[in-house]
Amino acid sequence: MDSQNPYAPPSATVRDVYSPTGVQQLADPGTRLGAALLDGLIAAAMIYGPFLVALVISAGIGSSGDNSAASGVLIGGGILACVGLIVWAWLMFRGVSQNGQSIAKKMLGIKVVRSDGSPATVSRIFWLRNVVNGLISFVPLYGIIDVLFIFAEDRQCLHDKLADTIVVKA
């Protein structure tokens, strides 16, 4: 009899949602530090760079006596700084949502994932790794302690522990 029993309970194949293909290698502390510094430089160049150029130009124009033109250049620099902020935020959001990588993390070949190896969501990275950690950083010496945790065996900073994330080689 090859027919199924109509009175048998339903059956289903159950499997995990995420099945890692292999063990991921943790990123070394130097690469993580380099990515953090490089991200800061990229953000500064994209956001503050246009405004600083406008400031220098307006100072040159202002020294010749044309203050209205100098203030116009400063306003233009402020607008360009806002555009730079929007472009930087869009690039960061796109990279983090696609593969857990900021601009510098992508350049250095590392990414943020959950501690079980599954992809980290944008909201987890933004809220837990950045916003909550930023609020806690008002506690004196927290920033130094947070960074020093990277030298532990699991290479997780406190913000990684808060978000249940790790940084691995991409």
pLDDT digits (tens, 9 = 90+) for 23-51: 789 999 999 999 999 999 999 999 999 98
Count of the separate structural domains present in the chain: 1
Does some domain include residue 144? Answer: yes
Residue 4 lies in a domain: no
In a domain, 6, yes or no: no
Distance of alpha carbon 79 from the chain centroid? 24
Domain that holds residue 94: 29-169
| Residues in CB range of 90: below 8 A, 6 or more apart | none
Q: What is the pLDDT of residues 126-147, one digit of tens each?
A: 999 999 999 999 999 999 999 9
Residue 1 lies in a domain: no
Place of tokens 């350049």: 107
Q: Is 166 helix (H, G, I), strand (E, B) or coil?
A: strand
Q: Answer whether residue 146 is part of any domain.
A: yes
Q: What residues have CB less than 8 Å from 123, skipping those under 6 apart?
A: none
